[in-house]
Amino acid sequence: MVAKLAAGLMDNQALTQVGEAIGTLGLPVVVFPRVNAAHARHPAWQHHIDALRAADVRIIYGPDVWPLHEPREAPAGRELPWEAVLDAVDEVTE
């Protein structure tokens, strides 16, 4: 999803809605990429993150929010970082 958003590819309804939101002036967008360490090591990954940030998309990402694990090695039952996501939504909508 992050790669498609960064490239402007909107091939389904969800991506179309978020892509249009990114292009709407003054409309804040918050994205939480639920990825693993292999995703983040891909050579294009940082470019995608940088492209979205350049479009003023708030990315909820980093070891303090979502520590990366190798594929299939994340702890079972790991909870999503809802507090960080909701805090970011509050910050961009104030």
**What's the confidence (pLDDT) of residue 1?**
86
| Segments forming the whole domain that contains residue 56 | 2-92
**CB-CB contact of 58 with 29 (8 Å):** yes
**How far apart are alpha carbons 88 and 11 in whole angstroms?**
27
**What's the confidence (pLDDT) of residue 33?**
96
Bridge partners for 59 per DSSP: 31
Residue type, 16: T
By three-state DSSP, how is residue 53 classified? helix
- How many Cα atoms sit within 13 Å of 41 on the Cβ side? 7
pLDDT above 90 for 64:
yes
pTM of the model: 0.88
How many domains, in total, are found in the chain? Answer: 1
Per-residue confidence at 63, pLDDT binned at 50, 70, 90?
very high
pLDDT above 90 for 94:
no
By three-state DSSP, how is residue 31 classified? strand
